[in-house]
């Protein structure tokens, strides 16, 4: 178990280093150079040289990368020239909003998708299963913003904008502002919940079908355990196992829909900041957020794998 | 591949046939439709902006006076072309990478798979937005970049198959008889993973179309005058509360129907291949 965890963590470290290297190279892919991108087209050569010197851009690439890594290790993600603020402070200010919205969407989706998967497996190939499969298939084929737009359009055509505002008011900057009027959060969270259900549900159904066919489930039934107990003790708990891996692997997809949904509903989170940074060519913010997203994904995968090994003795001793 | 049991197994799946029919009809309309249904998508006409569907404009006009149906057809050309090109390029690259990695094993496999892990750790949309904010995207550039971000999943799938195939007797026998590694991969491995590869390519088209539409929706896709479904949707969204439904729903439906069609076809193809394997 410890050996497995160490090996897995070693892989994660390599991948994190790779992610930082890719991001670092991207910064240097910017045509012309960073100085011109930030100081503008009319900057004199002297100004550019001064900027390059001040930011260590006149050193060899390898040395710059090591400096970049050193900054990252100390939690320094860069400096936004547009906001005249460190990327860290931007992130700290807005990350709670993302955690709230994306987290609620994820937890609600799991709370629905897991029991739904078990129910579908139990009533396999009957009307309930077919209806659920079709609905999930349709949801799965919809880009997340389209689903968001449909929900917003529905609210507008029902004239229910007051009860369910289709847009978060732009003055709600921090998490306090968001929670002051939680009605505006209903649509983004609902959209993310549906998107994530579509992502998880088929796997949950497949996992539950596989569990139902296991010998221990047959034994539990044969010894006369009530169906509800068989499902909750044996089937549901084993479905939870595959959820850990699935959530870990789905991190990029979850964050992508988070980005899009924040944009559609004007949720003041990191994703919206990323979008604004991209519009304004605020490269340090873009790259800082990209590194953060990459590291969060790798850590999510790592935690999921280790949690799986802890929960499932077959992996531990296998 | 095109042996009749497979085709029969596929044809028995009505949803899969429906998917293929939708794809063919969509391609037919988008590429041949504009030859019959002439519209001006270059010059804006401010006299006919935001017209509801009616005579002369079956799906109305947008805020520049462009005919929405004509725009849908043009947008479909972009989506299908880029989607197919990405599927071919990304799947080829992924299959080659996965086959070599799985077949070689050892250190090379570990290194090659870490490269895949690194690629998978950064969500594609973040990289695409970054690149589009740096350079002005063209169709060719988008195809290359989306392919470079999409080959990772097929690479993993094919590697998994290669790992189990390389221990099989016929591959061992070929190696024993002096076949080179490259030949073993090209002649024995790739043809046996072709099923996985084709199924994965079908889903790749759907994913690429969604990614492209998302990018255009966020206004980082192909710049005007290129027409994209995502771009039409983004433009129409502005008028959602004005009740100009024809500027939003047709474009959105076009994306969803196309993606559903490719997913149906992919699911059916996978089931057909499974059925064929089970019968053996």
Q: Does residue B52 carry a pLDDT above 90? A: no
pLDDT in tens, B84-143: 899 999 999 998 898 888 888 788 888 888 888 888 888 888 888 888 777 778 888 888
Gap between the Cα atoms of A252 and B121, Å rounded: 7
Of A137, A150, A260, the CB nearest to B214: A260
Q: Which pLDDT belongs to residue A35?
A: 67
pLDDT, residue A193, reads: 92
Q: Which helix (H) or strand (E) holds B158?
A: helix B152-165
- CA–CA dist A264, A101 (Å, integer): 13
> What pLDDT, on the 0 to 100 scale, is given for residue A194?
92
Min Cα distance A145 → chain B (Å) is: 8
Question: Which chain A residues touch B130 with a CB distance below 8 Å?
Answer: 26, 278, 286-287, 290
Whether the CB-CB separation of B20 and B37 falls below 8 Å is answered with no
- B37, B57, B38: which is closest to B47 by C-alpha? B57
Q: Does B18 touch chain A (CB under 8 A)?
A: no
Cβ contact B121–A142 (<8 Å): no
* B208–chain A Cβ distance below 8 A for any pair: no
What is chain A's mean pLDDT, rounded? 80
Alpha carbon distance A82, A38 (integer Å): 9
Q: Looking at chain A, which residue has its C-alpha nearest residue B211?
A: A143
- Mutation target to probe the A interface, by most A beta carbons within 10 A, among B121, B146, B203 is B121
> Of the candidates B70, B125, B128, B87, which has an alpha carbon nearest to the alpha carbon of residue B254?
B70
Contact A255 B237 (CB under 8 A): no
**Quick check: bond before B258 cis, omega within 30?**
no
Q: How many CB atoms lie within 10 A of CB A8?
A: 14
Residues whose CB falls within 8 Å of the CB of residue A125, separated by 6 or more in sequence, listed in order: none
| Residue A16 pLDDT grade (very low, low, confident, very high; cuts 50, 70, 90) | confident
Band of the pLDDT at B2, cuts 50, 70, 90? low
**Residue in A closest to B241 by C-alpha:** A156
To the nearest whole number, what is the mean pLDDT of chain B? 80
- Tell me, yes or no, if B111 comes closer than 8 A to chain A by beta carbon: no
Q: In this complex, is the C-beta atom of B118 within 8 Å of any C-beta atom belonging to chain A?
A: yes
Separation between Cα atoms, residue B149 and residue B138, nearest integer Å? 16
Q: How far apart are CA A195 and CA A192, in angstroms?
A: 5
Residue by residue, DSSP assigns chain A as: -HHHHHHHHHHHHHHHHHHHHHHHHHHHHSSS-HHHHHH-TT--HHHHHHHHHHTTTTS-HHHHHHHHHHHHHTT---EETTTTEEHHHHHHHHHHHHHHHHHHHHHHHHHHHHHHHHHHHHTTTSHHHHHHHHHHHHHHTS-HHHHHHHHHHHHHHTT-TTTS-SS--TT--SHHHHHHSTHHHHHHHHHHHHHHHHHHHHHHHHHHHHHHTSHHHHHHHHTT--HHHIIIIIIIHHHHHHHHHHHHHTHHHHHHHHHHHHHHHT--SHHHHHHHHHHTT-HHHHHHHHHHHHHHHHHHHHHHHHHHHHH-HHHHH-
B201-223 mean pLDDT: 83
In this prediction, what percent of chain B has a pLDDT beyond 70? Answer: 89
pLDDT by residue (tens digit) across B17-39? 888 888 888 888 878 877 777 77
Contact A252 B130 (CB under 8 A): no
* Largest interatomic CA distance in chain A: 85
The answer, yes or no, to whether ipTM is higher than 0.85 is no
Quick check: B59 pLDDT over 70?
A: no
* pLDDT of B56 higher than 80: no
Strands A85-86 and A79-80: antiparallel
**% pLDDT > 70, chain A:** 88
Phi/psi for B67 (5° steps) reads -70, 125
Give buried/exposed letters for A38-67 (b at 16+ CB in 10 A, else e).
bbeeeeeeeebeebeeeeebeeeeeebbee
What confidence score (pLDDT) does residue B118 get?
86
Closest CA in chain A for residue B209: A143
Whether B134 and A153 lie within 8 Å, measured CB to CB: no
Residues of chain A found within 8 Å of residue B156, distances taken between Cβ atoms: none
Nearest residue to A274 via CA among A284, A266, A285, A263: A285
Give tens-digit pLDDT for A24-45.
887 776 655 666 666 666 777 7
A253-289 pLDDT, tens digit each: 888 888 888 888 888 888 888 888 888 777 778 888 8
Closest residue to A152, CB basis, from B240, B256, B259? B240
- Å between A312 CA and nearest CA of chain B: 22
How many other C-beta atoms can be found within 10 angstroms of the C-beta atom of residue B42? Answer: 7
């Amino acid at each position: 178990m410890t050996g497995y965890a160490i090996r897995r963590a070693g892989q994660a470290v390599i991948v994190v280093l790779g992610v930082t290297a890719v991001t670092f190279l991207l910064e240097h892919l910017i045509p012309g150079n960073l100085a011109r991108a930030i100081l503008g087209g009319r900057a004199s050569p002297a100004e550019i040289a001064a900027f390059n010197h001040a930011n260590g851009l006149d050193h060899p690439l390898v040395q710059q990368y090591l400096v970049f890594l050193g900054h990252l290790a100390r939690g320094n993600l860069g400096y936004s020239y547009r906001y005249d603020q460190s990327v860290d402070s931007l992130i700290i200010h807005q990350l709670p909003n993302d955690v709230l919205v994306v987290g609620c969407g994820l937890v609600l989706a799991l709370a629905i998708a897991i029991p739904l998967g078990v129910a579908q497996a139990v009533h396999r190939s009957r009307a309930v299963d077919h209806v659920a499969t079709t609905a999930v298939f349709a949801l799965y084929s919809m880009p997340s913003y389209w689903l968001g737009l449909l929900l917003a359009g529905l609210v507008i055509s029902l004239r229910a904008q007051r009860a369910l505002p289709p847009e978060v008011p732009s003055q709600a900057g921090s998490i306090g502002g968001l929670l002051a009027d939680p009605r505006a959060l209903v649509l983004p969270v609902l959209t993310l919940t549906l998107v994530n259900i579509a992502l998880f549900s088929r796997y949950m159904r497949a996992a539950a079908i596989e569990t139902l066919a296991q010998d221990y489930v047959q034994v539990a039934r044969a010894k006369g355990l009530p169906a509800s107990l068989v499902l909750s003790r044996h089937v549901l708990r084993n479905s939870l196992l595959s959820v850990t891996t699935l959530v870990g692997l789905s991190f990029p997809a979850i964050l992508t829909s988070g980005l899009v949904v924040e944009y559609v509903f004007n949720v003041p989170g990191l994703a919206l900041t990323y979008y604004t940074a991209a519009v304004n060519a605020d490269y340090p913010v873009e790259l800082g957020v990209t590194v953060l997203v990459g590291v969060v994904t790798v850590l999510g995968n790592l935690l999921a794998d280790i949690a799986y090994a802890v929960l499932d003795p077959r992996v531990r001793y296998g | 591949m095109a042996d009749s049991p497979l085709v029969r197994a596929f044809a028995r799946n009505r949803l899969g046939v429906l998917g293929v029919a939708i794809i063919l009809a969509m391609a037919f309309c988008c590429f041949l439709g504009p030859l019959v249904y002439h519209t001006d998508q270059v010059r804006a006409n401010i006299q006919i902006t935001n017209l509801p569907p009616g005579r002369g404009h079956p799906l109305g006009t947008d805020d520049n006076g462009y005919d929405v149906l004509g725009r849908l057809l043009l947008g479909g050309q972009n989506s299908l072309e880029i989607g197919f090109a990405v599927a071919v390029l990304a799947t080829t690259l992924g299959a080659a990478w996965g086959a070599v990695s799985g077949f070689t094993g050892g250190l090379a496999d570990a290194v090659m798979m870490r490269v895949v892990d690194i690629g998978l750790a950064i969500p594609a949309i973040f990289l695409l937005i970054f690149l589009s904010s740096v350079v002005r995207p063209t169709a060719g550039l988008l195809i290359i970049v989306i392919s470079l971000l999409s080959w990772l999943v097929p690479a993993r799938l094919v590697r998994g198959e290669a790992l189990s195939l390389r221990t099989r007797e016929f591959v061992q026998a070929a190696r024993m008889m002096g076949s080179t590694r490259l030949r073993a991969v090209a002649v024995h491995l790739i043809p046996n993973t072709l099923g996985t590869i084709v199924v994965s390519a079908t889903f790749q088209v759907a994913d690429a179309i969604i990614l492209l539409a998302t990018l255009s929706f966020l206004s980082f896709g192909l710049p005007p005058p290129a027409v994209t479904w995502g771009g039409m949707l983004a433009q129409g969204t502005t008028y959602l509360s004005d009740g100009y439904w024809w500027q939003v729903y047709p474009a959105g439906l076009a994306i969803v129907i196309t993606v559903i069609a490719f997913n149906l076809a992919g699911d059916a193809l996978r089931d057909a291949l499974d059925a064929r394997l089970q019968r053996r």
